[in-house]
Amino acid sequence: MKELKENIIQRLKTNFADAVAGSEFSYNRVDVHVKKETIPSILFYLKEEMGYVHLSHISCVDWLEEGEFELVFIVWSPVDKVKVFVKTRLDRENPVLENIDMIWRQANTYEREFREMFGIQFTGLVAPDEFILEDWQGPPPFRRDFDTAEYAKKTFWNRPGREDAQDVRETISGRDGEEIPDFAKKYSR
């Protein structure tokens, strides 16, 4: 397995000058870091030339502190029985990547989600504007700097009598004149 993994890295390094091997893993996994421009060609090469026919997963990670997004493409070869993690970094200010749904059709769904949730633009992506969100005006909500608690506070409100830090029993008792039962009194603030 070790030899096979080294071969994979060597082949990718020979064909793609910017390919850098990532950390080593004891199980059937190989990591390769590339520049974002190389993504379509390296994925196409892996699929067509090396037998990595199955796109297992695409994920996006927001490294807010470093000002970058990391995109991870996990591909699998049923022959080698190895997972290759192809990783690339995008500038957070202007995240643009080439669309790859002509290589694997299901990538289209992932790209639609990342466009909506992280604000990453995929050049050449043909898909309806909206995926999960509807009439969304705010910043992409899966970014780390999007404060969900703050958003909920601004957008929603408490029903009268259910405001935060308010004892519901006391409110009901004040409103309807119901007496608070003895067992509940000890919990009242």
Partner 1 sequence: MRDKATTLYIGPQHPGITGNMMVKVQVEGDTIIKARTEVGYLHRAFEKLQERRNWLQSFTLLCRFCVPEPDPVEESYARAVEMLEGREVPERAKYIRVLMLELARMGSYLLWYGGQNGSLGLYTMGQWSVGDRNYILDLFEELTGGRIYHMYIWPGGVRRDLPEGFTDKVLRTMDYFEKRLKDYDDLMFTNTIFQKRTQGVGVISKEKAVEWGVVGPVLRGCGIKSDIRIDDPYEIYDQLDFEVPTAEGGDIWARALVRRAEIRQSIRIIRQVIEKMPSGEIYNKIPNPLKWALPKGDAYARTEATRGEIGMYIVSDGTVNPRRTHLRGAAYVHGVSLLEDLLVGENVADISAIMNSLGTCPPEIER
Cα-Cα-Cα-Cα dihedral sign, residues 24, 15, 101, 142: positive
Binding characters for partner 1, 80-99, by CB under 8 A (x = yes): -x-x-x--------------
Hey, which bits of 2-158 come out as E strands? 20-21, 29-33, 54-63, 68-77, 82-91, 96-98, 121-123
- List C-alpha distances in Å: 138 to 33, 114, 117, 133: 32, 15, 11, 11
Q: Which stretch binds partner 1 (CB under 8 A): 8-16, 70-78, 156-164, 176-184?
A: 70-78
3-class state of residue 2 by DSSP: helix
Q: Is 76 in the site for partner 1 (CB under 8 A)?
A: yes
53 vs 180, which CB is nearer to partner 1? 53
- State the nearest-atom distance from the C-beta of 139 to partner 1, in Å: 13
The site for partner 1 (CB under 8 A) is made up of: 23, 27-29, 53-57, 59-62, 72, 74, 76, 78, 81, 83, 85, 104-106, 108-110, 128, 130-134, 141-142, 144, 148
